[in-house]
């Protein structure tokens, strides 16, 4: 059975998810802003709404569909046992080969060309297959999902083509981006390091461009309108991802729709014969000259501001295999963002390794697997259920350890009672040669997790658990706020906690207890928890910023999404894999050092991993030198966070069953750690901006986020009813007008009925109205009329509009 919503989304590769569905550029008109809203009705039908006024029939015709394609097919007829004969779950296959074979049967032959997509770890995650037919080329994708392989597009975010090759390329090499795998292969045949994104010219936004951070990027567009638009999209995306510079290199002399692949196979181009290798070298030299002559692409200031505050999908593909599958399944089952599951799980994995291992970056630079991470969200965003689910294996292991300790204590108390009896007999005896009975030692509890403790109480637990501990608190505000209680005495607890981030020694002088002074040689404590954004803003005082506490926290603040009921659940086999992973990590033992004292085992970098690290280190240093204040402090800590994440990835891969040496970290794990760090960099910018915003800026951001969750449009009445801080009469409309004045949207009249009706004044989020871009807009798009913009533009309503498009 074909899913109508999936069918529509596959034909809108630029669609972006919102809180209530998706938005995309409408194919029914020349749409430069996403004015088409797509969502699903309760009965499975597709709901379309073009704010530019296109009718439903115009939209579906432009998509190559019919109105009937927007309806779900009738439910399968139940069998005698009450179960349906078929289901709507996408078909999955065990291997990529099986998926390719299925398509080959449909086409009657093998594909003419196969392009592979691999993630940062080198694992195959997708294929693009091409059949050359009399009617033209036919492209079909195949993708890996947690439950198996599907015939369809890869999950978002998608990896770049030839990603492992890009990660190994030297920093001095420019990266050439073409539209399509064929053109990228042509660039590669000329000696360039080349890539592309999957899904065609309109799908660039669905790819993770962060691996091009710090790189020089040359974009070679196809010679047509979609090709030039794709080049602009890529330039914007790689710049937002941190590319050193992006240049759009126009190749002269191309025919309509031609690209670099057509040039390479041609006999001559722009007066150059291309018959042999020497002449192709001339082609390379010409492309290099064109690239040097091209101006570096510069985004508009508004684009930079918007990108800085845009949430990027968590890079799930950078996680090790067993962790990745569990995170995807858990997020799907809960209906939450994957970051809510991934962060506490990564911290817990690092805590399980603890003091048993260190990563050697240099002889005097040993990196522990200790992370401190915080997931941020309003109440009801499912951050707490995700937190509990991620830590369930550790808490269950802790429960069993406490039960074992309780049984050991019962046995100890019985042994102690026997000792006391035997000792009394020994004292009454007159035998001077008899040895006194040996007093039993009390059992030590195995502690993995703590939740609410002072450093003074924590130190004895660390002494008896030298591996280290995990501090896990659903509400982390209490932990952060507790440090301020010691402000008058110099913040003794905070200083000790900052040492624990690096697993350094701490000395605690106690007022009571024996001994009075406690020395913990390697106090390793990983920290994870949740917090609400307003609470984080309140407890993260200037003192905590200046001390470096904020800089040590890996932050995730996914946008709020509405709750939706779903039948998805976690496959028990995925949970069992995570349990086995933790079991194997907790089996890791420290080595024995001088005097029989435990010391961490050392994990060293492979030569390839070392090169990947050096490239990142130099790029990161170039970024850090231009930063000040909180971001500079954050970047200083994120430098080593990449190595910590790489160590966690490496040992999780080993514990998950990969045939790798636990003592040598390869380039795949280093690339994964760097990919995660780049995501945390962008997220830090977002959260730090939130922490420093004024009350007015905060209310404006909340309003924009609220409108985005509604699909980008709202009336003043809807805002007044939906935003409790704008309930006073006239305040909602004034707030929307401030967004118009700031250039974040505009007013439009939207018809209330298919026959036209009295228009409703509606605010739309976007940069500028379509009628300002296209003088013929009114004639082309009936029913959508701009009545008030930042420029004071006023137009006459058109007639016969059809705005409320519901199928």
In this structure, are residues 419 and 437 in contact, taking their beta carbons and an 8 Å threshold?
A: yes
User: What is residue 279's predicted lDDT score, i.e. its pLDDT?
Assistant: 61
In this structure, are residues 238 and 208 in contact, taking their beta carbons and an 8 Å threshold?
A: no
Do 703 and 687 lie in one domain? The reply is: no
Whether residue 403 is predicted with pLDDT greater than 50 in this model: the reply is yes
Place of tokens 């101006």: 295
Residue 332 inside a domain? The answer is yes
In this structure, are residues 530 and 375 in contact, taking their beta carbons and an 8 Å threshold?
A: yes
Model confidence, pTM: 0.61
Range among 76-85, 693-702, 786-795 rated most confident? 693-702
Do 581 and 465 lie in one domain? The reply is: yes
The answer to which of 56-60, 127-131, 375-379 has the lowest mean pLDDT is 56-60
Whether residue 271 is predicted with pLDDT greater than 60 in this model: the reply is no
β pairing state of 449-450 and 469-475:
parallel
Do 473 and 608 lie in one domain? The reply is: yes
- Residue pLDDT, tens place only, 102-149: 999 888 899 999 999 999 889 999 999 999 888 778 889 999 988 899
Q: Which is nearest to 115 in space by CA: 141, 133, 134? A: 141
Question: What tokens does 292 get?
Answer: 């040097």
Residue 64 inside a domain? The answer is no
Do 614 and 531 lie in one domain? The reply is: yes
User: What is residue 386's predicted lDDT score, i.e. its pLDDT?
Assistant: 94
Do 612 and 735 lie in one domain? The reply is: no
Whether residue 61 is predicted with pLDDT greater than 80 in this model: the reply is no
- Residue pLDDT, tens place only, 465-489: 999 999 999 888 888 877 765 544 4
The whole domain housing 259 covers 156-299
- For position 391, which CATH number holds? 3.40.50
Exposure pattern of 130-146 as b/e (b: 16+ CB <10 Å)? Answer: bbeeeeeeebbbbbbeb
Whether residue 780 is predicted with pLDDT greater than 70 in this model: the reply is no
Report the distance separating Cα 50 and Cα 781, nearest Å. Answer: 10
Residue 69 inside a domain? The answer is no
User: What is residue 702's predicted lDDT score, i.e. its pLDDT?
Assistant: 82
Range among 147-151, 378-382, 392-396 rated most confident? 392-396
User: What is residue 698's predicted lDDT score, i.e. its pLDDT?
Assistant: 77
User: Residue 169 burial (CB < 10 Å; 0-12/13-18/19+)?
Assistant: middle
Angle at 331 between CA 325 and CA 335, to 5 degrees: 150
Do 780 and 658 lie in one domain? The reply is: no
Whether residue 432 is predicted with pLDDT greater than 80 in this model: the reply is no
Do 263 and 347 lie in one domain? The reply is: no
User: What is residue 372's predicted lDDT score, i.e. its pLDDT?
Assistant: 97
For 147-176, the DSSP string reads TEEEESPPPSSBPPTTHHHHHHS-TTSPEE
The answer to which of 493-502, 630-639, 660-669 has the lowest mean pLDDT is 493-502
The contacts of residue 629 (CB under 8 Å, 6+ apart) are none
- Residue pLDDT, tens place only, 607-621: 999 999 999 999 899
**Banded model confidence at residue 553, pLDDT cuts 50, 70, 90:** very high
The answer to which of 5-9, 525-529, 580-584, 655-659 has the lowest mean pLDDT is 5-9
- Residue pLDDT, tens place only, 314-354: 999 899 988 999 999 999 899 899 999 999 999 999 999 99
From 692, 710, 728, the end of a domain falls on 692
Do 703 and 683 lie in one domain? The reply is: no
Whether residue 769 is predicted with pLDDT greater than 50 in this model: the reply is no
User: What is residue 72's predicted lDDT score, i.e. its pLDDT?
Assistant: 59
- Residue pLDDT, tens place only, 502-541: 999 998 887 777 787 889 999 999 999 999 988 998 888 8
In this structure, are residues 198 and 154 in contact, taking their beta carbons and an 8 Å threshold?
A: yes
Q: Which residue has the higher pLDDT, 806 or 635?
A: 635
Dihedral over Cα of 93, 97, 98, 99: its sign: positive
Range among 724-728, 762-766, 787-791 rated most confident? 724-728
User: What is residue 587's predicted lDDT score, i.e. its pLDDT?
Assistant: 94
From 658, 692, 726, the end of a domain falls on 692
User: What is residue 273's predicted lDDT score, i.e. its pLDDT?
Assistant: 60
Backbone angles phi, psi at 590, to 5 degrees: -70, 160
Chain length of the chain: 807
- Residue pLDDT, tens place only, 598-609: 899 999 999 999
Whether residue 738 is predicted with pLDDT greater than 70 in this model: the reply is yes
User: What is residue 137's predicted lDDT score, i.e. its pLDDT?
Assistant: 81
Q: How many helices (H) and strands (E) does the chain have?
A: 27, 31
Chain mean position to CA 566: 22
Whether residue 579 is predicted with pLDDT greater than 90 in this model: the reply is yes
What's the mean pLDDT when you consider all of the chain? Answer: 82
User: What is residue 390's predicted lDDT score, i.e. its pLDDT?
Assistant: 95
Residue 729 inside a domain? The answer is yes
Do 724 and 645 lie in one domain? The reply is: no
Q: What is the dihedral of CA 284, 290, 295, 296, to 10 degrees?
A: -10
Average pLDDT over residues 17-32: 72
The contacts of residue 337 (CB under 8 Å, 6+ apart) are 314, 331, 556, 558, 559, 561
- Residue pLDDT, tens place only, 225-263: 889 989 998 998 888 788 899 999 998 878 888 889 888
Question: What tokens does 369 get?
Answer: 């697997």
Q: Which is nearest to 241 in space by CA: 319, 160, 132, 327? A: 160
Residue 703 inside a domain? The answer is yes
**Banded model confidence at residue 696, pLDDT cuts 50, 70, 90:** confident
SS3 224: coil
Place of tokens 């030297």: 170
SS3 482: helix
The contacts of residue 301 (CB under 8 Å, 6+ apart) are none
User: Residue 505 burial (CB < 10 Å; 0-12/13-18/19+)?
Assistant: exposed
From 636, 658, 692, the end of a domain falls on 692
117: left (phi over 0), alpha (psi -120 to 50) or beta: beta
- For position 748, which CATH number holds? 1.10.10.10
Residue 47 inside a domain? The answer is no
User: What is residue 50's predicted lDDT score, i.e. its pLDDT?
Assistant: 77
Report the distance separating Cα 771 and Cα 52, nearest Å. Answer: 9
Residue 425 inside a domain? The answer is no
Whether residue 40 is predicted with pLDDT greater than 50 in this model: the reply is yes
Whether residue 312 is predicted with pLDDT greater than 90 in this model: the reply is no
In this structure, are residues 709 and 563 in contact, taking their beta carbons and an 8 Å threshold?
A: no
Whether residue 371 is predicted with pLDDT greater than 50 in this model: the reply is yes
- Residue pLDDT, tens place only, 439-463: 999 998 889 999 867 888 888 899 9
SS3 488: helix
Whether residue 547 is predicted with pLDDT greater than 60 in this model: the reply is yes
Whether residue 382 is predicted with pLDDT greater than 70 in this model: the reply is yes
User: What is residue 788's predicted lDDT score, i.e. its pLDDT?
Assistant: 33
Do 368 and 289 lie in one domain? The reply is: no
Residue 525's DSSP bridge partners are: 469
Do 684 and 738 lie in one domain? The reply is: no
H or E element at residue 743: none
Cβ atoms within 10 Å of 776's Cβ, excluding its own: 9
User: Residue 609 burial (CB < 10 Å; 0-12/13-18/19+)?
Assistant: buried
Q: How many domains does the chain have?
A: 3
**Banded model confidence at residue 758, pLDDT cuts 50, 70, 90:** low
In this structure, are residues 506 and 351 in contact, taking their beta carbons and an 8 Å threshold?
A: no
- For position 290, which CATH number holds? 3.40.1360.10
Average pLDDT over residues 345-364: 95
Do 732 and 668 lie in one domain? The reply is: no
Average pLDDT over residues 275-292: 77
Chain mean position to CA 201: 23
Q: What is the dihedral of CA 432, 437, 438, 442, to 10 degrees?
A: -140
Residue 365 inside a domain? The answer is yes
The answer to which of 229-243, 336-350, 409-423, 544-558 has the lowest mean pLDDT is 229-243
Report the distance separating Cα 448 and Cα 465, nearest Å. Answer: 8
SS3 98: helix
Whether residue 770 is predicted with pLDDT greater than 60 in this model: the reply is no
């Amino acid at each position: 059975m074909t899913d109508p919503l999936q069918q529509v989304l596959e034909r809108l590769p630029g669609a972006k998810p919102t809180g209530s569905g998706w938005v995309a550029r409408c194919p029914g008109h020349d749409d430069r802003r996403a004015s088409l809203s797509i969502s699903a009705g309760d009965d499975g039908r597709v709901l379309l709404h073009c704010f530019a006024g296109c009718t439903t029939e115009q939209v579906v015709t432009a998509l190559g569909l019919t109105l009937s394609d927007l309806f779900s097919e009738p439910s399968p007829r139940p069998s005698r046992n009450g179960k349906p004969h078929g289901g709507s779950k996408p078909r999955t296959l065990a291997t990529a080969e099986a998926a390719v074979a299925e398509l080959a049967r449909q086409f009657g032959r093998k594909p003419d060309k196969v392009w592979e997509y691999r993630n940062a770890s080198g694992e195959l995650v997708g294929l693009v297959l091409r059949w050359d037919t009399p009617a033209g080329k036919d492209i079909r994708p195949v993708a890996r999902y947690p439950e198996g392989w599907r015939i369809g597009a890869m999950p978002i975010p998608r990896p770049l083509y030839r990603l492992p090759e890009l990660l190994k390329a030297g920093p001095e090499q420019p990266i050439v981006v073409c539209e399509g795998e064929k053109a990228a292969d042509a660039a590669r045949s000329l000696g360039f390091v080349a890539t592309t994104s999957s899904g065609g010219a309109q799908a660039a936004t669905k790819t993770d461009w962060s691996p091009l951070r710090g790189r020089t990027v040359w974009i070679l567009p196809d010679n047509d309108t979609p090709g030039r638009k794709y080049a602009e999209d890529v330039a914007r995306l790689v710049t937002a991802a941190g590319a050193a510079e992006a240049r759009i290199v126009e190749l002269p002399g191309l025919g309509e729709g031609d690209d670099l692949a057509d040039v390479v196979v041609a006999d001559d181009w722009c007066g150059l014969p291309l018959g042999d290798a020497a002449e192709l070298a001339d082609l390379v030299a010409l492309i290099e000259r064109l690239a040097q002559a091209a101006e570096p692409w510069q985004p508009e200031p508004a684009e930079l501001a918007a990108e800085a505050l845009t949430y990027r999908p968590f890079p799930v593909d950078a996680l090790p295999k067993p962790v990745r599958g569990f995170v995807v399944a858990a997020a799907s089952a809960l209906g939450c963002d994957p970051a809510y599951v991934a962060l506490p799980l990564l911290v817990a994995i690092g805590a399980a390794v603890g003091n048993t291992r260190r990563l050697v970056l240099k002889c005097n630079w040993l990196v522990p697997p200790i992370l401190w991470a915080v997931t941020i969200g309003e109440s009801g965003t499912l951050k707490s259920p995700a937190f509990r689910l991620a830590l369930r294996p550790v808490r269950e292991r802790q429960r069993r350890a406490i039960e074992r300790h309780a049984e050991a204590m019962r046995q100890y108390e019985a042994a102690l009672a026997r000792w006391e009896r035997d000792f009394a007999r020994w004292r009454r005896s007159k035998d001077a040669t008899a040895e006194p009975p040996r007093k039993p030692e009390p059992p030590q509890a195995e502690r993995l997790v703590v939740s609410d403790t002072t450093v003074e109480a924590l130190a004895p637990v660390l002494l008896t658990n030298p591996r280290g501990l995990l501090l896990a608190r659903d509400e982390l505000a209490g932990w952060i706020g507790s440090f301020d209680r010691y402000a008058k005495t110099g913040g003794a607890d905070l200083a000790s906690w900052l040492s624990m981030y690096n697993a350094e020694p701490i000395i605690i002088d106690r007022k009571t207890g024996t001994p009075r002074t406690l020395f913990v040689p390697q106090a390793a404590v990983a920290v994870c928890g949740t917090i609400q954004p307003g609470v984080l803003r309140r407890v993260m005082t200037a003192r905590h910023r200046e001390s470096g506490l904020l800089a040590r926290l890996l932050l995730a603040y996914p946008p709020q999404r509405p709750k939706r009921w779903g039948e998805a659940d976690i496959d028990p086999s995925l949970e069992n894999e995570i349990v086995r992973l933790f079991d194997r990590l907790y089996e890791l033992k420290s080595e024995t050092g001088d005097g029989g004292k435990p010391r961490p085992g050392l994990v060293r970098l492979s030569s390839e991993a070392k090169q990947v690290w050096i490239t990142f280190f130099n790029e990161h240093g170039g970024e850090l030198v231009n930063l000040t204040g909180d971001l500079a402090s954050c970047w200083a800590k994120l430098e080593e966070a990449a190595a910590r994440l790489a160590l966690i990835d490496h040992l999780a891969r080993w514990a998950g069953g990969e045939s790798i040496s636990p003592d040598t970290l390869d380039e795949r794990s280093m690339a994964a750690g760097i990919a995660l760090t780049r995501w945390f960099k962008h997220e830090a910018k977002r959260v730090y901006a939130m922490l420093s915003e004024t009350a007015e800026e905060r209310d404006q951001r909340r309003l924009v986020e609220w409108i985005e969750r509604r699909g980008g449009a709202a009336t003043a009445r809807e805002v007044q009813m939906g935003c409790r801080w704008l309930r006073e009469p006239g305040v909602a409309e004034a707030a929307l007008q401030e967004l118009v004045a700031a250039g974040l949207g505009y007013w439009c009249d939207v018809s209330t009925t298919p026959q036209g009706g009295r228009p409703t004044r509606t605010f739309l989020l976007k940069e500028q109205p379509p009628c300002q871009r296209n003088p013929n807009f009114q004639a082309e798009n009936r029913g959508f009329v701009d009545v008030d913009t930042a420029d004071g533009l006023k137009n006459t309503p058109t007639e016969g509009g059809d705005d409320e498009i519901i199928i």
